Chain A
Amino acid sequence: MTEFAFRPREWWQRLVAPIDPVLLALLALLIGYALLVLVSASPERMNNQFINLAVALVVMRVAAQIPPQRLMYLALPLYLGGVLLLVAVALFGDVSKGARRWLNLGFMRIQPSEIMKIAMPLMLAWYFQKHEAMLRARDWIVAALILLLPVAFIARQPDLGTSILVLSAGFFVIFLAGLSWKIMALLFFGGLASLPFVWTLLHDYQRQRVLTLLDPEADPLGKGFHIIQSTIAVGSGGILGKGWGNGTQTHLEFIPERHTDFIFAVLSEEFGLLGNTFLLALYALIIGRGLMIAANAPTLFSRLLAGSITLIFFTYAFVNMGMVSGILPVVGVPLPFFSYGGTALVTLFLGVGILMSIHKHRMLVQK
């Protein structure tokens, strides 16, 4: 039995040992910035967001502790479990706002597609690690199937935002694993050619969102309202913004979902181009740090995983800012580390934790 002794210094060192200070510092800046904007957008939600953050940080710390090898063992069960849950959702899921996304477990409701955001890159990274020695054409096809099966389930819920995130998470792994440029070109042009077909697969509301993006003024008070109002918010912010708490679009409730998916409109209106640029710079630095971690990772698995997780952050940020500023259709993708809401925050910090773990264990395995 070890004797209990009061050694705060040692505890602290053990607590922060797996933490990457650079990544944490950048995230602290980003979170601080996010809270500042959230105070303006929805002060009454601050307490909840603090709780969300606390939970997310715990998750991050726990994940940072887990060595990448341990994560590999988790890949297959997590993926298969996720797929099973997606099937369950399709069969017994709760419908809310026209989409079947939730699974009621009796004591809580979960959204299995959220699990896939992490399970997908884990699974594919594990798969490529397993076939590291020799990659045959068949392996690429299997990888593609691993990717597309859950994505199809999620897209049918329908949940365009999440399916894009899961698809890109998986794609990043495949891309980083070295899919040949020729195939990618083929996929790209094949994708372009099949757009008319994809169009017929889309739900009416999804088609409508694309049409709305192309011509928001066609229905300025209906379907175009979100995109028009958020674009106005961004544009009216100007270079320096209207000032913190002074966004008229925000405070007179012209911005829908101003604390979640459209929080960037609030930032943009109140802090202007300067604030936007600062945010872009923060994201660029965080992504840069993530790519650095990926570059230095010891195994193929951890490289692919770190690269994919990092690029997922980018996908979140790009899709969200593109949507709010009116160059991408409206899909339910939050601004990473910024939007109010616990689920996304936990998933994102889980990713950060994994990145930190990979960073921490970069030497250990090589030895």
Chain B
Amino acid sequence: MRLAEFKNPEQELERFQRRLAVAGGLVLLAFFLLFARFFWLQVIQHEHYRTRAEDNRIALVPIVPNRGLIVDRNGTVLARNYSAYTLEIMPSKVADLEAVIDELAGIVDIQPKDRKRFRKLLEESRNFESLPIRTRLSDEEVARFVAQRFRFPGVDVKARLFRQYPNGDLASHALGYIGRVNDRDLASIEKNEAEDNYRGTEHFGKTGLEQKYEFELHGQTGFEQVEVDAGGRAVRVLERTPPVPGSNLVLTLDAKLQQVVEKAFGKRRGALVAIEPSTGGILALVSMPGYDPNLFVDGINLQDWEALNTSEDKPMVNRALNGAYPPGSTFKPFMALAALETGKRTPQQSIADPGFFTFGGHTFRDDKKGGHGIVDMYKSIVHSCDTYYYVLANDMGIDAIANFMRQLGFGSPTGIDIEGESKGVLPSQAWKKERFRKPEQQKWYAGETISIGIGQGYNAYTPIQLAQATAAIASGGVLYRPHLVKYVENINTGERTLVEPQPLRTLPFKPANIEVIKRAMVGVNTEGTGARAFAGAEYVAGGKTGTAQVYSLKGGKYEASKVQERLRDHALFIAFAPAEQPTIALAVLVENGGFGAQTAAPIARQVLDYYLLGKLPKEAAPEYEEVDEDD
């Protein structure tokens, strides 16, 4: 390179113009490059970007449908919705939650329990949800907040539909409750491929009918296509697909009857299941104590939750479906039927009852000292003679008993339309082998069969199983699947989807045999252990008392009054009425109620009085004093 150049103006100008031409060429090239880029974006990739622009601008806003109502067989509303204002916080948009809540507390009433509940919701919440700090704001509170809304970014008042159970804890275990959607519910939604339909839905059935019929009750979510700006604010509505409200559930349940039952229980714990024998429709499903499902709707606060869960009375346990109890003497009619059907006994065959039965060196006692004398089948049921059934069980053997009882539904879930039902324990050789680990425990001993005959031992059945079996006797041998929902009513089309009575099986029993049992059960209420409770009844009802041992007495006489309350026996009663053409069959269990005749039978009496005669009881069912009688 030369260090210096001497310039020739002519050459210089020429060179400058060449450079200028080069620059011009480069400009054109650059513009062509831009053009190519525009062509790529606007022609070749146009569809892609057009879609993205549309996606930007259009947001689908779900409109949550009204949840279906739950009404009883007579149209009494058990679960409904109401609209209320809630004060909601978007935690993701608020830096200091505590400070904001403190400030809000100056405008609307926020109690410590609201804060606790909010904290609980926060822990469970899905991302970016807006969570209620207060629900059911008064109009005045709404007005006060709205006036100062600018101070609270990320906080807003929203109109929401709330589930309400207008009768409080009535039938709480049948209805169940809804609560805010959690991870488990999401999994269930995914499994049902209902994600789209649950966009925007905040509540989900957690237990009972609310859970079982969640997808029927929910309805079809509507959508609003709105044009939104970059800040996510809706500018205008482009299109609207209205939501379709959820279907209503019309129950077989009779709310009045349910109320009578719950009142009859008073402060006692226990369960009652009443079934319509001709359909399997459940007339009353009671587990006492209940709880107020309204507590769960907006997210239950910690105090209430702990109170419910730590209570000795275990109000959250659905005893009717999940409590497995020895049936006690209520097992005897079924044992008697087994004896007839298997040919082990005839109705007339009698035993002489000395008041005990000895087997393998062990003495099995009868409740009545000195025994019942000569006992045939009728008398064995009416007076609840234990010895008769010790001998019978021994004659039949455990597997024959199990095989018979299985047909009546004992030991298997009944298939009621509520999730999580227990199956109880139907003891048999196979069951024991399965149940225990050690070989010596796995073996069934003949001695163990004896107490099975009177409904004790390994026997454990849920009240609904007992009610189902009782209804099968009452219906003359048809075993129905118990169900709570009569029909699902689509309120848009008016279409009713009937829950058909489902005979699980027609039992191959001789009608004459069933008649024997029914007659004996009628005898129970006229001249036997149930006679006192049913004194003066204007209808004929079959029944059977029972007592389930809680506390095992090694020999000796059981005296309920001397045993601690919680160790008292459970009282049971099964019944059907009217005897000729039963319209109701039921099983009652009173936890620690002592003898069946003492506490369970009086409840059954009040229930039947109301159901058959419309007689409303004035107070809780009476508890008779302890009687030294057979049971």
Contact = CB atoms under 8 A, between A and B. Distances in A.
Interface in A144-200: 172, 175-176, 178, 180, 182
A294 B16 CA distance: 9
Interface stretch (A42-50, A87-95, A99-107, A283-291): A283-291
B53 A236 contact: yes
A325 B48 contact: no
Interface string B11-30: 01001110110011001101
A238 interface: yes
Interface in A203-231: 229, 231
Contacts of B4: 134-137
Interface string B28-43: 1011011101110111
Nearest to A139: B4
Contact of A135 (B5, B33, B56): B5
A291 B23 CA distance: 9
B42 A234 contact: yes
Given A249-B56, A254-B230, A291 B20 contact: yes
A327 B37 contact: yes
A236 B23 contact: no
B24 A288 contact: yes
Interface stretch (A28-36, A268-276, A352-360): A268-276
Interface residues of A, number: 51
B69 to A, nearest CB: 41
Contacts of A39: none
A178 B19 contact: yes
A67 interface: no
A232 interface: yes
A272 B53 CA distance: 14
Given A176-B16, A322-B34, A311 B23 contact: yes
A232 B23 contact: no
A330 interface: no
Contact of B24 (A134, A233, A291): A291
B53 A268 contact: no
B46 A236 contact: yes
Q: Which of B12, B24, B43 has the most CB of A within 10 A?
A: B24
Contact of B12 (A295, A300, A314): A300
Contacts of A182: 1
B439 interface: no
B198 to A, nearest CB: 25
A303 interface: yes
Contacts of A280: 31, 34-35
Contacts of B106: none
B13 to A, nearest CB: 8
B57 interface: yes
B43 A238 contact: yes
A5 interface: no
B302 interface: no
Contacts of B231: 253
B49 interface: yes
A273 B46 CA distance: 11
Contacts of A284: 27-28, 31
A178 B46 contact: no
Contact of A314 (B27, B35, B235): B27
A232 B30 contact: no
A267 B240 CA distance: 32
B52 interface: yes
A77 B52 CA distance: 53
Given A252-B228, A307-B20, A232 B53 contact: yes
A248 interface: yes
Contacts of A287: 24, 27
Contacts of A231: 41, 49
B6 interface: yes
B502 interface: no
A248 B27 contact: no
Contacts of B190: none
A248 B34 contact: no
Interface in A301-357: 303, 307, 311, 314, 318, 321-322, 325-327
B15 A178 contact: yes
B429 interface: no
B92 interface: no
Nearest to B15: A178
B45 interface: yes
B283 to A, nearest CB: 58
A252 B19 CA distance: 46
B225 to A, nearest CB: 14
Contacts of A277: 35, 38
Interface in B224-247: 227-231, 235
Interface of B: 1, 3-7, 12, 15-17, 19-20, 23-24, 27-28, 30-31, 33-35, 37-39, 41-43, 45-46, 48-50, 52-54, 56-57, 227-231, 235
Given A134-B4, A178-B16, 6 more contacts: A133-B7, A175-B23, A248-B54, A252-B229, A254-B57, A283-B31
28 contacts: A132-B7, A133-B6, A133-B7, A175-B19, A178-B16, A232-B52, A234-B42, A235-B46, A235-B53, A236-B50, A236-B53, A239-B43, A248-B227, A252-B57, A253-B229, A272-B42, A273-B39, A277-B35, A280-B31, A284-B28, A303-B16, A307-B19, A311-B23, A318-B30, A322-B34, A325-B37, A325-B41, A327-B37
